[in-house]
Structure 1
Amino acid sequence: MAALALHASVPQSQPFIPLPSFSLSKFTQSSNRRTLLFCAPPQLHHVRSEMSLCVGTHLIPHPNKALTGGEDAFFVSSYSGGVIAVADGVSGWAEENVDPSLFPREFLANASNLVGNDDEVNNDPQILLRKAHAATSATGSATVIIAMMERDGMLKIANVGDCGLKVIRKGQIIFSTSPQEHFFDCPYQLSSERVGQTFLDATVSNVELIEGDILVMGSDGLFDNVFDYEIVATATKYIDVGEAAKALANLASSHSADKAFESPYSLEARSKGYDVPFWKKMLGMKLTGGKLDDITVLVGQVVST
């Protein structure tokens, strides 16, 4: 993510030592009902309920941020039918000597701790956004999406910014969130600064899910580089949700480094008036290529248990 909604002079955040591993897939249920994951060893995570999510994840950091694990964060919770969330730290804070990864990581740590422990947030992702935001003290900002599934299959979504979620049923996308932007490449974001967005700016959606539905949630590093038809083809190709998440992340990573690829990002940029200089246009050139970024992918399948 490139732009700050507010470009302010802010003090240095507290230091954070990232976990050493950042690429993962396949989760197993642990004794703790809430599992916060930024960067963790591979495992398979089954979410227990009458209707529940089996979730696989994969995270690939920006090539220049591989040693620190990037600025995306996510968590998977087994509460009720399952809770999944992604937060994408705004990289522009680095220009103010602020680590952009601290805000999204603390935000989702707070959200993870609230799930299952606070009755007010347990069935309302928008309230979860509010309380997690209020509890976050790190300087910075992030786009955030949270989806909570009830045992009857009702999925509740709250989204601020350009992280996204798509629901695939029988090979077709039946639901997709829409990105929120101030202008091109400057998404809505929850921030430590008072003039940023709040939980009231979230787009809230409800989707009735059935057994076999596939959810694809991710940061903009996925959706800027992979078209919908590629998401459907890849997510439905694999029985194992961990393998599906890994394949989608790898596809996004490959496209992001391909300077000749007509990516969703380059197509949108040209549609908003961003292109190569006029003299290059005279030579038949145009703006192409993917967008290098942190890439986080969560793939969930609705199962009956």
Structure 2
Amino acid sequence: MRLCGPHTASPHPSPSTTRVSPIPHFDLRLATPYVPNGLPARSPPPFLSPPSSSFSDPLTTHSLSQDKRLSVKGELIRGLNNGDDAILVAENFLGVDDGVGAWATRPCGHAALLLHFWGLEIERRLSANATTVDPVEYLQSAYEETVRATSSPTEWQGTTTSATALLHWTLGADGVQKPLLYVTNLGDCKIMVIRPSEERILFRTAEQWHWFDCPMQLGTNSIDTPRKDAVMSQVALQEDDIVLAVSDGVMDNLWEHEVLKNILDSLHKWDNGRPETVDLAPPPDLSNDRMIFVARELLNAALTIAQDPFAESPYMEKAIDEGLAIEGGML
């Protein structure tokens, strides 16, 4: 998504659009490309033992030799469930939760529930003139509500990582409100801010791990909590900055310098009138064709590496560092 100023923001936002913390003349123009449900997003899938009372068991008892390709002998793999994944976007906030695939054999919905309750917390607690913003506490409340919703008699089991970004404001030295992004992260999803005018990554979250392929996560049997483990950052934004919220589906396949180059090349391609057809657009009141094109280009670049059994990838590099013979992209 791109931060927009007075000459780019929509003059007639939809009445259904939620404005939780509007900044005069600033909002986020959105794009939300997503891989269709049914394709695994965390690997090596599937885990061979179901979740147990031990936090570590379902996260480590997988086969490192299992085929990770999107197809086996020419047939597309659609039966590998990876747990639930969820994205949430609005004019002033966005989030991505990546459900951990170890729980795919059980009813689970932690990623979607956590983002749902997080959005409700923002709407309930944050007003346009609020001077105190506490995203970690919003996430903590959402986590506690998720635990209650998935406990007896429901008894859903699951865990999820979480990365969120909330656009609010701060007062500059001249007393004028300026856009400020509040970022929270727990696990291996990532929020990145790219400043095209300077052709650089302005900000990125740091991944949080217990061990290789076991990120920090919220939910069943996990010792992690937002209040104890989530990291909160503040990023001062300028108009036309790009805010990315991505899961490991992108960052396991593309290095950060490749993400930056892909974004800048896509912007250049669009601005010079050579974009390909863009499909799967989000609702018109939040969409921005330029951002949709940029996001789709990034998704396609990650997918190309993910399906290549001989590609070099960040995931492969991490695995080799752990002494594991894994090569190619990561689904």
- TM-score over 0.5 (shorter chain): yes
Q: Does 1:183 align with 2:208?
A: no
Match of 1:168 in 2: 194
Sort the Cα spacing of 1:245 and 1:69 in 2 relative to 1 into closer, same or farther, 3 A.
Answer: farther
Residues 65 and 85 (structure 1), Cα distance of their counterparts in 2 relative to 1, 3 Å cut? farther
Mapped to 2, the partners of 1:191 and 1:67 lie a distance apart of 21
Q: CA–CA distance in 1 between the matches of 2:125 and 2:221?
A: 26
**Contact 1:77–1:112 at 8 Å: present in 2 too?**
no
> Is the Cα–Cα contact under 8 Å of residues 23 and 168 in structure 2 kept in the other structure?
no
How has the CA–CA distance of structure 1 residues 188 and 69 changed in structure 2, closer, same or farther, with 3 Å as cutoff? closer
Q: Counterparts of 1:186 and 1:198 in 2: how far apart (Å)?
A: 17
Question: Are residues 202 and 69 of structure 1, via their aligned partners in 2, closer, same or farther at CA, if it must alter by over 3 Å?
Answer: closer
Could you say which residue in structure 1 is the equivalent of 2:181?
155
Closer/same/farther in 2, CA of residues 58 and 66 from structure 1, 3 Å limit: farther
Give the TM-score normalised by the residue count of structure 2: 0.65
Q: Over aligned residues, Cα RMSD in angstroms?
A: 2.7
- 1:146 and 2:164 equivalent? yes
* From 6, 15, 25, the counterpart of 1:50: 25
2:15 alignment counterpart: 31
SS of residue matched to 2:34: strand
Residue of 253, 256, 262 corresponding to 2:306 = 256
- Report the structure, 1 or 2, having the larger strand content: 1
Unaligned runs of 5+ in 2: 1-9, 41-76, 151-156, 170-177, 271-289
SS of 1:291's partner is: coil
CA pair 214-147 structure 1, distance change in 2 beyond 3 A: same
Which residues in structure 2 correspond to 1:1-305 (within 5 Å)?
30-34=14-18, 49-61=24-36, 62=39, 64=77, 71-78=84-91, 82-94=92-104, 97-100=105-108, 102-119=109-126, 123-136=133-146, 137-138=149-150, 139-151=157-169, 152-169=178-195, 170-193=198-221, 195-236=223-264, 237-238=266-267, 239=270, 240-275=290-325, 287-292=326-331
Percent of residue pairs bearing the same amino acid type? 30
1:60 & 1:83 partners in 2: Cα distance?
21
Cα distance in 2 for partners of 1:66, 1:73 equals 19
CA distance in structure 1 between the aligned counterparts of 2:224 and 2:101, rounded to whole angstroms: 15
**Maintained 8 Å contact 1:34/1:112:** no
1:239-280 CA-partner distances (Å, limit 9, x unpaired)? 5111111111111111111001001110111112212xxxxx
The count of residues paired between Structure 1 and Structure 2 equals 238
Q: Distance in 2 between matches of 1:153 and 1:53?
A: 11
Instruction: State the distance in 1 between where 2:80 and 2:310 align.
Output: 27
C-alpha distance in 1 between matches for 2:78 and 2:26: 38
**What code does the residue aligned with 2:119 have?**
S
